[in-house]
Amino acid sequence: MNETPLSGRLVANILVAVGTAVAVTLGAIAWWTWRHEVQQLDRHQLDRSQRSVSIARLFVQQRIDRGRIVLGTIAESHDIQRALAEGNRLALQAALMSLLHAGDQATFTLAIYDRNGRLVTASSRMAEAVFSGMATNPEHLVDQQILEVLVGDLTVTSGRAIVRDGKRLGWVVGAYRVGRIFVASLADDLETDVAVYFNQKVLAKHYSFPQAPPSWDRIASLHRLADDDETWLATAEIAGEVFDIALLPIRDVVGKAWIAVGISRQPLIEAQRIFVWKIAGLGVGGLLVVLAFVTAFLVMLRKQQERLIHQRDEAFEKQAGLSDRLEHLRAVVHDIKAPLGGIQLSCENFLEESNDPELAQGLQQIIDTCEKLNLFLINVLTMAEADEGPIKVCREVVLLPGLLEDVAERLAPLAASRGVALVCEPGDEVPALVSDGTLIERALLNLVSNSLAVVPHSGRVRLVLHSSGKRVQIRVEDDGPGFTQFDPEKAFSRDRPQVKDRSIKAGSSGLGLYIVARIAEALGGSASARNLAGGGCCVTLDLPFEAAEGAR
């Protein structure tokens, strides 16, 4: 099948697809991040509003508690009690002023009544004018906290009885301002806008917002309860600016009053706008970076694909050449093996009928040479197959003990001619297994032929079979010189150095052990070699054991 490199149109389509996917992903991430950030900022804004309104109400409560303390101090003053008992108005005025600090004089409006409810003295002329115009029974104000508007300012009015030796001498009445000046001071301290709602109305100038905050009905329609079920939260537009408003009721007073704190959302809106621009900039920059990387990757991929296609075409051409040469080699090997087998068979027949020792020796040499040539042809063919690709494996039932005996019987004449004892030890009975008997036989022929080539006269070659669990080991041991000039494991390498060593004579081909290793790998096993302590070497063929169906 023909393949072409990535076309320009395909690259463009990939870039569009990747850009769209990245843009959608970045957009989703940016949207989620923006929503999360907005929620965090909103939560922070509302938390700040709640904290601010709690602090504002705390200031109000402190103002009320401060008023109680001042009234209690005046009511329990011995100077006040003595002057009131004596009816000495000047002494009473002096005692009252000595008890009031400068700050208290600005904050509290006080008046003292006698036991008959007549105004005796006040903290100032304005206080005297205020309380003189009030039709108030001072006795009803004792231990009360009443919210009302005095001279246009919201105040908390309260009273305490003045008692001496169990005898009531009169009352002290005070009004603590929590109105315009208090709101302005509170707004400066909290750095927020503050307003006071009284009887569902915003009193004139009792707020620090740019203009009057929304009416109570409007706030009530916008409000929602916070987690504490007491704080109201609302968002309203005032003078073209959006505010988050938190409201809390003023407790422990007679009269309905709420204190409200508002925080402008304008800085929050600006922060959100800047955040959106940053996210957009990062998203566009990230998209451009990703597209640049994708473009570079596609260009590199296109070049790599062109190179791979070129290499593949070369490989196909080379493979086609190898396949042709392999088929030609198979034909040549077949053409050589046929007459070679005929020569070997004729010599064996002549050897059986001959009584001449010299002739018999010559015939045996011809037979040995035919055997070597036959093995050499098989090795060359196996080598070519391994170069072309994985060696093909046929799955068939194999009886290893019989296979070992067949190899020993086939090479027995060669061993006898060299004066070497070839011993076959099948060991314990090994069940039939599924493998490729032809490849195993080919590997064993190489191993035993190698050993017979290097073992001296009167030496011994052992062919041993052993099974262990799910593995089968076939060992070929000999009394030869062993591996003396390099590591035994390197004997299986095709690229091992060519050395003059009797241990690697393999029918003069030098390919026997390499082919054994490739056959072992094809069968799912391995080949290993080691020198024996008493001299000689041992080559082991380790194969997986797969029992044939019905075998035990």
Q: What are the pLDDT digits (tens) for 393-431? A: 888 888 888 888 888 888 888 888 888 999 998 876 777
Phi and psi angles of residue 549, each rounded to the nearest 5 degrees, phi first: -60, 130
Indicate the pTM of the whole model.
0.46
Residue pair 492/473 in contact (Cβ under 8 Å)? The answer is no
| Confidence (pLDDT) at 509 | 44
Range in 57-66, 92-101, 242-251, 348-357 the model is least confident about: 348-357
* Cβ atoms 233, 224 nearer than 8 A: yes
| CB 541, CB 528: distance < 8 Å | no
Q: What is the mean pLDDT of residues 59-66?
A: 86
- Reduce the DSSP state of residue 293 to 3 states and report it: helix
Q: Where do you find CATH 3.30.450.220 in the chain?
A: 1-264
For 391, the token pair is: 């060696």
155-159, 287-291, 318-322, 389-393, range with greatest mean pLDDT: 155-159
Residue 317: predicted pLDDT: 60
Higher model confidence: residue 107 or residue 156? 156
Q: What is the sign of the dihedral through the CA atoms of 269, 274, 275 and 277?
A: positive
Q: Once rounded to an integer, what is the mean pLDDT over residues 317-324?
A: 57
Question: How far apart (Å, rounded) are the C-alpha atoms in residues 11 and 5?
Answer: 10
Task: Identify whether the C-beta of residue 199 lies closer than 8 Å to the C-beta of residue 255.
Answer: yes
Q: pLDDT, tens digit, for every residue of 229-251?
A: 788 888 888 888 888 888 889 88
CA distance 301 to 291: 15
Q: Give the mean pLDDT of 300-304.
A: 74
Residue 148 has pLDDT above 80, yes or no: yes
**Region 422-442 average pLDDT:** 83
pLDDT at position 461: 92
Instruction: Find out if CATH 3.30.565.10 is the number for domain 1-264.
Output: no
Between 292 and 257, the higher pLDDT residue: 257
CATH code of the domain occupying 390-544: 3.30.565.10
| CATH 3.30.565.10 in the chain, residue ranges | 390-544
pLDDT at 552: 47
